[in-house]
Amino acid sequence: MLSTLLEDKVRGGKWHTLIDKVYGELNLFLAARKVTDKQKAAGVDGQTCEEFEEHLIVETRKLSEQLKGQTYRPAAVRRVRIPKPGRPNETRPLGIPTVRDRVVQKSILNVIEPILDHQFHERSFGFRHERGAHDALRIVEQKLQEGYVYVVDADLKGYFDTIPKDRLMKLIAEHISDSRMQKLIKLFLDQKILEELREWTPITGVPQGAVLSPVLSNLYLNPLDHEMADHGLEMVRYADDCAPGNVHAR
């Protein structure tokens, strides 16, 4: 409901007041239900989705008060290594935030996703509603049938971990002027990482496994999508995988 309301109002606009929508108790409650339904692993505080849900009203009200009073601070992200699909000898890092942090990020996402998604290029298919890998492949197949004969298949290595935070924040500021919302998002970008007994704050990147990371990763590559299209390149992008091509068969 909140997403639909925002969609109706943000076309071509720039928002100045959003934080009150993030700490709204109804938004936090709906965000919490989405998070706890997935039953993912606990973060550094050990709190499970079941434990959070047992005290759902109390927990969301506490989060609302902390966000409103600007006392909320995200906990460290627990990092684990999981096998890469199709590559059993390789692993990739996965961050596991606390349930509380996931709820706040989902609440933020409910507010900013409809604002940012309107700016994304139509050939961006990853992490977007009603779009998926099959849609991206359909466009590639369509272009091949039209006679395109040169295709470059590119995959950005370690993309999530290498996004420059300062440039990302500038892109966020182009669409969201609410300074408190910007500061809250920056808190999540600066979350500490805890892996085994080592703890550190990454200089670059958005945490893999975080609720906000997919939309922020799309935002960072959005200028590239539009630039490629402006130069006549038929690029199809799914997250950090892309396939540009622009030469017809003669």
Amino acid at 144: L
pTM, 2 dp = 0.89
Q: What is the pLDDT of residue 13?
A: 59
Q: What is the pLDDT of residue 16?
A: 78
Q: What is the pLDDT along the chain (250 residues), one digit of tens a residue?
A: 455 545 444 444 567 789 999 999 999 999 999 999 988 899 999 999 999 999 999 999 999 999 999 999 999 999 998 887 777 788 888 899 999 999 999 999 999 999 999 999 999 999 999 999 999 999 999 998 998 888 888 888 889 999 999 999 999 999 999 999 999 999 999 999 999 889 999 999 998 889 999 999 999 999 999 999 999 889 999 988 887 766 554 4
Q: For residues 211 and 53, what is the distance between their CA atoms, to the nearest angstrom? A: 18
Q: What is the pLDDT of residue 213?
A: 95
Report in angstroms the alpha-carbon separations of 12 from 118, 125, 174, 220. 8, 21, 12, 19
Phi, psi of 245 (to 5 degrees): -160, 145
Q: What is the pLDDT of residue 249?
A: 47
